[in-house]
Structures are given as structure tokens and as C-alpha cells.
Amino acid sequence: MSKQLISVIVPCYNESEALPYFFEELNKTISAMPEFDFESIYVDDGSKDTTLEVLRAHSAQDNTARYISFSRNFGKESAMLAGMRAAKGDFAVIMDADLQDPPSLLPEMMRLLTEKGCDSVATRRGNRKGEPLLRSIFARCFYGIINRISKVKFVSGARDYRLMTRRMLDSVLSLCEYNRFSKGIFEWVGYKTEWISYANVKRVAGKTKWSFSKLFGYSMECIVAFSTAPLAISSFMGFLFFIISVIGALYIIIRKIVDASSAVSGWASLTVIILFISGIQLLCVGILGQYLAKTYLETKRRPDYIIAETEDKTEGSDK
């Protein structure tokens, strides 16, 4: 019986410093799992450093390694998608290039997958040690909110490091939305998932690519992609203010009837109310705009990424 194939998918953006360590670690893991065949797919997400050269050299000397290089930086989501589309394995695993997703966990993940008979083994960080305070407060709030307003469950501290079977991978690939948020998609497709947690490790070399504003944008994208609750909340607010205004009007009318000489005074309070209501209105229009903008992007049907260079080892070309 031929061995089963595991596809290792590695998104890389400016990872030339970390990659040599990663190759070494992955090789150790591969030799620890002789019962499987491996292929690795490195996706260069428009790196500005020498990542592409490193990947070219690596794939030239390692027959099981392939690379895909994007024409510019399309983001990690696109890089993961390209890798998953290229994967030929019976199993696929996504790993960061900076060793924050230790390849040494793979044998354990594979054991769990077979033992529990599930379709996916996912990882989460046991702690947020070494993370800036603001970032971890923000992350906690985000998971609190999204789990309240979305039907799909999001696990706090979940990483993209995940092993899955071919049928789960095919299901993930069958979703063809443009605004991708993989953590949600993996949950949305269902299947039984086992979670393992491990201590947060520092990246081996290089710098993180996620600024606070990039993370903030990413989480907003997630909310729009997996929940329509903000739209419902804004309609509810509209209704609430309508009720309040009816009560206010009734109050003024009744007061006038009871005491004809009373006049409602106070332009300051009036100004505050007008500002408040118009602020809420703008907020709601903004929320609506977010959904409209996403719909607009979806209807354009642009590709998720553009591949500038790759090599196809099956054709026998050795470029």
C-alpha cells in the first residue's frame, strides 16, 4: 500500500531570515514520520526581501518542495488559499514560516486525527504571553463580541495552524467568497475538530507583519463576513429612538394641555439631542456602507491573488 501524502502549506511574507530555521525543523518532523509522504508548498506573498530567492534555491534542491510567488502582497488569507488549492495531499496542514506553529507538534496532531476519527486537528495558544497588552485586550473583546453576534463559534486564541483531511479541505475550497476569513470558514464547514493548545512561542527571526491597524481591519472584515447583527442593531436603534421621540412628543403635548403657560426651554439640550441622533444616523449609514462595500467587492469577482511565478515539478521542468 502506498503511503499517504501530507501537504504542508506555508505562507511567507518577508521571511528570508526565518525560512532556513523552518526548513530544518520541518525536515526533522518529516524524518520523525516515516509512515507518510510529504510535499511542502511555500507561498511567497509578494515579499520585498530575498524570500523568493530562498524558496527557489530550496525547491531546486528538495524534490518535495514547491513554491508559488504572488505578483504583490495579497495577504495571508490569499496565500493560504493558493497553498490549499495547490495541495495534492490526503491531508493538508497550514503552518507559519516563523516557527510560531512548531512543526514538531505534527506527529501528535496526526495521532489525534486518526485516534479520534475526526477531520481536523486545530491549535490554539494556551496563553497570550509576550503579546502587547493593548493587543490582547482587543483580542479578548473581539472574541467576546463575535461569539455573541455570529452563529459560527470562534475559539479564542485559535491559530491558523491546522491539520485537516482531504474531504474537509475540499469543503473549504468549495466556498468561493472573495472576503475570506479562514478561522470562520473552518468552523462554518463543520466536521469534527479536536483542539490542542500549546504555549505561545516567539517568532524565530524577522518581524511580525501584523500592525494593530491591520489586525483591527481584519477583525472588522470577520464581523461583516460572519454576522449581519450590526445591521439588525442599527435598525433596532432607529426603532428605539422613534419610540423615545413619540414619548417625548406626548409629554410635551400633555404638559401644554395641563398648563397652557408652560414653554419648553433649553436650546442646549436640544442641540445635544440633535447631535446625538445625527451621530447615530451616520454610524448606521456607515455600517450599511460596510456591507454594501463588501457586496460590491464580491460582485466584481476579482481573483484572490495573481501568481507571478511558480514551478511545476510534475511537468519535469526544473525551473
Q: What sign results for the dihedral spanned by CA atoms 84, 88, 90, 95?
A: negative
Q: How far apart are CA 49 and CA 207, in angstroms?
A: 12
- Single residue of 56, 85, 128, 203 touching Mg ion by CB under 5 A: 203
Residue matched to cell numbers 530575498: 50
Let me know: does 79 contact 12? Beta carbons within 8 Å: yes
Q: How many residues bind ligand UDP (CB under 6 A)?
A: 17
Helix (H) or strand (E) holding 7: strand 4-12
* Distance in Å, CB of 96 to ligand UDP, minimum: 4
- Single residue of 100, 120, 171, 193 touching ligand UDP by CB under 6 A: 100
Q: Does 93 bind ligand UDP (CB under 6 A)?
A: no
Residue closer to ligand UDP by CB (options 51, 234) is 51
Let me know: does 90 contact 163? Beta carbons within 8 Å: no
- When CB distances are held under 5 to 8 angstroms depending on the partner's kind, the choice from Mg ion, ligand UDP, none that residue 164 binds is none
Q: How far apart are CA 209 and CA 100, in angstroms?
A: 13
- When CB distances are held under 5 to 8 angstroms depending on the partner's kind, the choice from Mg ion, ligand UDP, none that residue 97 binds is ligand UDP
- Single residue of 17, 96, 187, 304 touching ligand UDP by CB under 6 A: 96
Residue closer to Mg ion by CB (options 40, 100) is 100
Question: Among 226, 147, 148, 213, which Cα is nearest to 182's?
Answer: 226
Instruction: Name which of residues 236 to 265 contact Mg ion (CB under 5 A).
Output: none
Q: Does 11 bind ligand UDP (CB under 6 A)?
A: yes
Residue 16 neighbours by CB distance under 10 Å? 20
- Single residue of 98, 119, 160, 304 touching Mg ion by CB under 5 A: 98
**Burial classification of residue 276, based on how many CB atoms lie within 10 Å of its CB (0-12 exposed, 13-18 middle, 19 or more buried):** exposed
Residue closer to ligand UDP by CB (options 210, 236) is 210
Residue 287 neighbours by CB distance under 10 Å? 16
Q: Does 160 bind Mg ion (CB under 5 A)?
A: no
Q: Does 75 bind ligand UDP (CB under 6 A)?
A: yes
- When CB distances are held under 5 to 8 angstroms depending on the partner's kind, the choice from ligand UDP, Mg ion, none that residue 239 binds is none
Q: What single DSSP character describes residue 313?
A: G
Question: Among 79, 84, 109, which Cα is nearest to 171's?
Answer: 84
Q: Could you tell me which stretch among 68-76, 135-143, 147-155, 276-284 binds ligand UDP (CB under 6 A)? A: 68-76
Binding flags for ligand UDP, 259-288, as an x/- string (CB under 6 A): ------------------------------
- When CB distances are held under 5 to 8 angstroms depending on the partner's kind, the choice from ligand UDP, Mg ion, none that residue 85 binds is none
**Residue spans of alpha helices (H) in 87-228:** 106-116, 133-149, 166-174, 182-188, 212-226
**Which positions lie near Mg ion, rule CB under 5 A?**
96, 98, 100, 203
Where do contacts with ligand UDP occur on this chain (CB under 6 A)?
11-13, 15, 45, 73, 75-76, 79, 96-98, 100, 203, 208-210
